[in-house]
Chain A
Amino acid sequence: MDMKNGRIRNGAPGRVASGTRVIGIGGAGWHMLRAVAARHAEGMSLAEVNTDLRASEVLEGVARHPIGGKVTRGLGAGGDPEVGARAAEESAEAIGDAVGDCATAVLMLGLGGGTGTGAAPAIAAEAKRRGARVVALCALPFEFEGRRRAEQAGRGLEALRAACDVVFAFENDLLARALPEESGVEEAFGLCSEMLARMAVGMHRALVCRGIMDLDPADLARVVGSKGCRIGWAEGSGEHRVNEALDRLADSPLLGGAESGRPWDIVVQVTGGPEMSLSDVQKVTRRIRRQFGEEDVSVTLGALVETAMRGRIDILLGAAESRAVGDGLGAAAKEVRENPGPVERPHRNGTSRVPHVKAVRQIVPPPPPPPPPPAPSMDAGIGEMAGLAAAGDGDAADEDQGNLDPGEAEAMAELAMEGSSGEPVLDEPTAAPGDEAAEAMGAESGDGLFSMDNGEEEGGDDVRFGGSSAAGRGMVQGALNFESPSRGRFDKTEVTMYKGENLDIPTFMRRRLRITTVE
């Protein structure tokens, strides 16, 4: 996908990218995927990629894609990333099928073993080639799993960073701190899977679903991709669901020890039913702000309404210390931040520039909602999700001890910094069904200006996170996102929401009216 000109250029022309594909890779990936399957969300599809199909049972609603039949003879990668990589090479077609035509690919894996570590970079690259935005959620091995796995994990992480837009790498050792001493390994892995599953759904909601307030992918990437990012989550239901969820959030095990009073950079995804009010959302922000100590705390919020969430609320929070933010940025992102490129910043009153308009442009409406997902096959809680008895790819752990260099665990986010650097944000429109040319117009910041075509100013073909884009949603919403600098006249006002619709977005856009440009 090419977002440079506010246009789409799919790797596979004519096909429509939509939704999120969650791909569990290897043994650990399977366990994580199982946790995701238990909390299936609309517009999300699941795929399993594995070399060893003996060990895991078939998950309902999950498409299975065996790889490396020849290389491994179906016996797994034996903890060797080389084998994993060769298996991926051999089964390029299966990987293509696994990736499909999603707008966002979320890879889930344990680093340190064979299949996940070896095959994930190839899968990420394929997803990217097909125009998806790629997020990797991975677990780094425990210290006790030994040096070899730690080293393999480190190298795997490097490779993943190069291939993904955001990598969240969770240090499993943090589990030891989060859980009571008497907790078993199963419980620990269960908690890790639960967290990553929540993150997968959260990523999907933030990046693909159209929300009341959409999280800026750049913010998301910045925080989640930071080293040492903490994740907290909680749910509430019934009359006092908001308070209940907030109380639980405060006790969220993996958030423990997040000291208040430090400069936290926080992203929050709030999902609720249609009854969720703006004051609920405000309450969430306020409480979180207070909890983290008010000062120097930046809270960026995404809010989403799902009918299935009626009477419930789900909060997912990522917090990174501000000074760590940026550490996780890839070189490309840094470069973009430092040299934002020749994109002209429109004046607030919108008079500074007359965009070069193409003869005809289409206003691309939000795509119709994805078909309802199959009913979740499981209704698992944390306990039931325990698994991952053997970490990594399900291979036996090495005996020797070793430490992972914390620097190696640094997560990478390769993202464009338009949003953060205050540059106008080009939208990342996605082809709406039937929109063959996909000549979507990009919205830009500034009072009522569209950026139609910025010419060929920006080079490169890479997929990047745009500031406040709405990729995968087919929405020309970029210029109106919450807290983005581009809400024009409604900047500084609360978003006007009605039944989950953002009324600040022009009605004609939401209603898919087509505007022709007269030459």
Chain B
Amino acid sequence: MFFARKDRDIVAVEIGTGKMVAVVANVGRDGLVRILGVGEGPSAGVRKGEIIEPEAAREALRDVIAQAEESSGVEIMEVYLALSGGHLECALQSATAEIRGEEQHIDEEDVAVVCRAAEEAQLPPDRLHVATLPGVFRIDGGEPVARPIGMVGHRLDGEFLVVNGVASRLKNIISRVQELEIRVEDVVLSPVASAERVLGPEVREAGALVVDMGAGLTHFAVVAEDRVVHRGVVGVGGDHVTQDISRAFNLPRTNAEELKTQHGTVEPAAFEEGETIELKARSGFAGKRLLARELAMVMRARWEETFEIVREQVPEEMLAVLGGGLVLTGGGSHTRGVGALAERVLGLSVAPAHTGGLAGNIDTISRPELSTVLGSLIWAQCRIEEERERENFGRRFRRVLQQVRMML
């Protein structure tokens, strides 16, 4: 109990395609996460959630870290890193352990054995285990339980969502942080983090689909009975929308971006037939007039397709039982009409994002774009709590990041 109730500063970092963010928070003795400071800036050298220009990415991150340090007054030594990327794959793995000991009480070690066995599934040499999400257990084939420790049985079966990624890309992103002499305490999967942020406890229990519409990627996570049962990513995001607009109307990217943010919608009917949008001429740009409905059509086509892909990747039976509906987040969720479109394609009703769980000056940062990084803080806080509990038992749970570190 020595460390148990000491307050602690934690930092979450997201190296996104559109922006980079670092948020510093303090986890108080009461377990509440208080935001101390934020650094936020445009991203560089990142596409589709992956580093393509390491130096540019590192420098952009350096600025953001400095900004966060300044606004929080905390020197950043270690961070929780939100991890995304089209290369991340997940698989449902199950494993079994025989319970040792006379009394056959299930302890931490037994859970760890099952967990490790599930993680040991064969991976191609270029892939690395990234995370094992909390799973369900069955004792002697009985009903599923979330926390088997302390229960009695002969056999413990566990089923986990095990996530792996391409080693070189994991290294690529983690190295950017380490180059700034900052330790990566742990990695948090982006959709898992977003779900932490936008789903309240009741919705988590009832089950919901979270779709995080980022600039580079669209993540999704299915949460049921308070745990992530499925996650995935579509390698399409707001950048694609901008590209589509730029190609459809023959516009430079900056103008396309402007069109998207100012007039963007996925509802062609929001405009009159024949209504046009005019982009004023300016230096280096001759100006442009286009049909507003066609802009909406182009955007709609992209998001509709993206939701369709999400739908195809979530098993039908999983979708059928999500009582909490659908929560959209990420920058793309600002798009007008996108909720109705998602409802239609995914067959779920949109629920508002949950905004609790954080304290401090959060008004300025309660934006969908920051769901992932804020969710990472909540996730980190939960892990810290769990660890404190475990430390009471005198045993440390094996960290998945150890593996990542070993290869760095």
Q: CB within 8 Å of B: which residues of A?
A: 279, 349-351, 354-355, 357, 363, 443, 447-450, 452, 479, 488-490, 492-494, 496, 498, 503-504, 506-509, 511, 513, 515-519
Contacts and interface: CB of A to CB of B under 8 A. Distances in A.
A354 B286 contact: yes
Contact of A493 (B52, B290, B304): B52
A507 B253 contact: no
B301 A447 contact: no
A448 B301 contact: no
A446 to B, nearest CB: 9
6 contacts: A350-B252, A350-B253, A351-B252, A448-B247, A492-B52, A516-B294
B393 interface: no
B125 to A, nearest CB: 10
A479 B124 CA distance: 33
Given A448-B256, A498-B309, A518-B289, A507 B244 contact: yes
Nearest to A446: B252
Given A490-B243, A503-B234, A503-B236, 14 more contacts: A350-B246, A350-B253, A447-B253, A449-B250, A489-B47, A492-B52, A493-B47, A493-B50, A498-B309, A503-B309, A507-B298, A507-B302, A513-B298, A518-B276
Contacts of B170: none
B305 interface: yes
A355 B246 CA distance: 13
A490 B48 contact: yes
Contacts, number: 116
B248 A498 contact: no
B235 interface: yes
A516 B253 CA distance: 19
B248 A506 contact: yes
A363 B247 CA distance: 11
A85 to B, nearest CB: 48
A511 to B, nearest CB: 5
Contacts of A494: 48, 86, 235
Nearest to A515: B248
A508 B297 contact: yes
Interface in B251-299: 251-254, 256, 276, 284-286, 289-291, 294, 297-298
A459 B284 CA distance: 29
B239 interface: yes
Nearest to B49: A493
Shortest 3 CB-CB contacts between residues of A and residues of B? A448-B246, A496-B235, A506-B244
Interface residues of B, number: 42
Interface of B: 47-48, 50, 52-53, 86, 124, 126, 234-236, 239-240, 242-254, 256, 276, 284-286, 289-291, 294, 297-298, 301-302, 304-305, 309
Contacts of B243: 448, 488-490, 504, 506
Contact of B236 (A449, A450, A496): A496
Given A279-B124, A493-B47, A508 B298 contact: yes
Nearest to A479: B247
Nearest to A348: B253
Contacts of B294: 513, 515-516
Nearest to B251: A448
A449 B276 CA distance: 20
Nearest to B46: A493
Nearest to A450: B250
A489 B253 contact: yes
Contact of B244 (A357, A443, A508, A516): A508
Given A516-B294, A518-B289, A506 B302 contact: yes
B240 A503 contact: yes
Nearest to B166: A279
Contacts of A506: 240, 243-244, 247-248, 298, 301-302
B287 to A, nearest CB: 9
Nearest to A498: B309
Nearest to A355: B250
A498 B217 CA distance: 13
B240 A515 contact: no
Nearest to A449: B250
Nearest to B297: A513
Contacts of A513: 294, 297-298, 301
A230 B251 CA distance: 44
Interface centre among B240, B291, B309 (most CB of A within 10 A): B240
Contact of B250 (A357, A488, A503, A504): A357
A518 B301 CA distance: 21
A355 B243 CA distance: 17
A508 to B, nearest CB: 5
Contact of A492 (B47, B240, B285, B290): B47
Contacts of B245: 448
A447 B254 CA distance: 10
Contacts of B285: 351, 354
B250 A496 contact: no
